[in-house]
Structure 1
């Protein structure tokens, strides 16, 4: 389907499940490198910063992609998931204790966003004194409407992470930043490590916030989710349903054919972005049938050579967040209309206002 990512920026949206898998599993025909496309796109194009080429596993192909992805896989493989669970539980309790007695909260800004950012900061190994400034600029990584703000935010984040990398070279720890710096195989420069860290923030923060807020919104608005409140539907079942029906990245996994490619009966022009409609592909009548509880065949985390390496961590953080919240305030209900963020890629509420019976005693 022909679409525009921004005015005058054409792309092709793939909506069928089989076609989506074909694109994602054919990196030689549909590489992720956007360099040629960038040359033809104005600097002021609002989606350009989000799709810009770079030396990361998300934006490279072939041997270089394998080398960079291997380094990320090795670093993420060293993460202690039991420690992550305990730390996220602690943070969730602390955040809930800030609003439990008020009878109302805005769960994106007061709960999901600070919870996810704190978890990612710890995984990365960000110095605590940089946390507030990083929290201020990280939203620019998902900005698809203002190229100037997006570029400025990314440059500020590059500067902050550059300082953090310099500090880690003399004071390494048990964190992804230190493990990347210690990996001799890619032969990282400090600027290359910064690029990998920006990718982690880009792909871990906003999508995980979106997963949590979309799950909360579904529990509060979708009659099918009533079982989640009664305990007969597990939190993982809820998250899988959300990843099928309302994934936080509704369109993503952008690919750039180097020569014209035929998909079905449609010729895709060379160097024109091919965007996977993740939400649309899940609604393909070929697969969207019956009760999908326990079905984890969605492609919300991508597929093939570029599939998300941290999907387990994202699901762990989201599961802990939802469990702690529902245990503390099971009677919450929406306190206002949900407004969904305008974006060609991300889909999540701009805010999730809720009300509930104020706790008479401290819940934790």
Structure 2
């Protein structure tokens, strides 16, 4: 079952229903032509896998040796010295550095910075009565927030902006974008070794885990890989839900909080919809299905939330979603992601509460991401302020 087609992107819920009926909790899929994997659509099975890192490892080394350098999704799933791709003592070392660094972030400063950026971006289109919110709002805002956290100097911001979008691409484009970003971030790391400041690069360099410069670069690439596209997707999926889902009418009326909207999105349309990739170290039997050793097992986060065993009742106020993963490899920056998206959406909805879609939504064909290719909206042009 291919996860990379336009048809799947247009109606994943329909595919999940049919696949669950035909295959049960574990679906044989392709991440790209010829790249086999198993998609987990059962909630209980997903939790079992995510909470068993000693059996279902995040380390893709065995799989990578079999697939070779030309794998279309190799750049996104490849091994590296980061907490997302290691286990055991290596994972503890890298995750410890991330956790310590994130603990030093001034969240009030992050919120204030996001609000300033949001206002600046909104002011660029506010008077026209229309906007394309992915490229004119969500993407530049997410990138600016991550650049500020990392500590990218102003003179390198444009180079980072050109490289980052390719991280979510398959094939040669993804490989080239990653190499470009690594090169730029190497410059940032060298810069910070002589001019440290209150930012993620400086804190990683100073952390007592003794990260090498190359390891610091790897952590930074992971941050951009996980944070930018996912935050863009979280913001745009939230706006899309508010404009297309009748259940979200309360958000436009102000009776549903921004956090409630974001949690609903993380249940229904998580931006990393198929992710948390694991690799059985030896063949594993789940239910009546054997999972081959060193073949990717992908958690269908959105699909698991629709498992009939758990998808019941009103989820308002429920934050038990798998949108940031689960277990020892759950995203350590989930709080920051929610903070950035909340601040951005609050500013946007305050400025243009009457927005409406200007065209049908087109969802990006991706085996991993759930996001729109564009989010065009219209709204009433602002009236002059009375004197």
Query: Within 5 A, what are the aligned runs for 1:131-146?
Result: 131-144=157-170
Secondary structure of 2:67's match? coil
Deviation of 1:280 after TM superposition, in Å, equals 0.4
Superposed CA RMSD in Å reads 0.8
Counterpart residue number, 2:71:
45
- Aligned partner (choices 6, 13, 30) of residue 56 of structure 2: 30
Counterpart residue number, 1:343:
366
Counterpart residue number, 2:3:
none
Q: Establish whether residue 172 from structure 1 lines up as the match of residue 202 from structure 2.
A: no
- Aligned partner (choices 292, 300, 304) of residue 269 of structure 1: 292
In 2: Cα distance, 1:173 partner to 1:281 partner: 42
Query: Within 5 A, what are the aligned runs for 1:61-140?
Result: 61-140=87-166
Counterpart residue number, 1:279:
302
In 2: Cα distance, 1:184 partner to 1:82 partner: 26
- Aligned partner (choices 270, 291, 295) of residue 314 of structure 2: 291
Residues 90-115 of structure 1 show CA distances to partners (whole Å, capped at 9, x for unaligned) of 11011000100001000000000000
Secondary structure of 1:290's match? coil
Secondary structure of 2:96's match? helix
In 1: Cα distance, 2:354 partner to 2:217 partner: 43
Q: Establish whether residue 182 from structure 1 lines up as the match of residue 182 from structure 2.
A: no
Do the aligned partners of 1:21 and 1:303 also contact (CA within 8 Å) in 2?
yes
Give the unaligned 5+ runs of structure 2: 1-26
Counterpart residue number, 1:204:
227
Residues 255-308 of structure 1 show CA distances to partners (whole Å, capped at 9, x for unaligned) of 011101111111111001000000100001111101110011100100001000
In 2: Cα distance, 1:252 partner to 1:263 partner: 19
Secondary structure of 1:54's match? coil
Do the aligned partners of 1:101 and 1:360 also contact (CA within 8 Å) in 2?
no
Deviation of 1:184 after TM superposition, in Å, equals 2.5
Counterpart residue number, 2:241:
218
In 2: Cα distance, 1:42 partner to 1:26 partner: 27
Counterpart residue number, 2:22:
none
Compute the TM-score of the two structures, normalised by the length of structure 1. Answer: 0.97
Deviation of 1:130 after TM superposition, in Å, equals 0.8
In 2: Cα distance, 1:43 partner to 1:156 partner: 18
Residues 299-336 of structure 1 show CA distances to partners (whole Å, capped at 9, x for unaligned) of 01000010000000000011111111010001110001
Q: Establish whether residue 314 from structure 1 lines up as the match of residue 337 from structure 2.
A: yes
Deviation of 1:61 after TM superposition, in Å, equals 0.5
Counterpart residue number, 2:217:
194
Counterpart residue number, 1:159:
183
Counterpart residue number, 2:258:
235
Deviation of 1:121 after TM superposition, in Å, equals 0.3
In 1: Cα distance, 2:69 partner to 2:362 partner: 30
Deviation of 1:149 after TM superposition, in Å, equals 1.1
Deviation of 1:215 after TM superposition, in Å, equals 0.2
Q: How many residues align?
A: 359
In 1: Cα distance, 2:257 partner to 2:105 partner: 25
Residues 221-278 of structure 1 show CA distances to partners (whole Å, capped at 9, x for unaligned) of 0011000011111110000000000110110000011101111111111001000000
Deviation of 1:361 after TM superposition, in Å, equals 3.8
Deviation of 1:148 after TM superposition, in Å, equals 1.1
Deviation of 1:350 after TM superposition, in Å, equals 0.7
Which 4+ runs in 1 deviate beyond 4 A? none
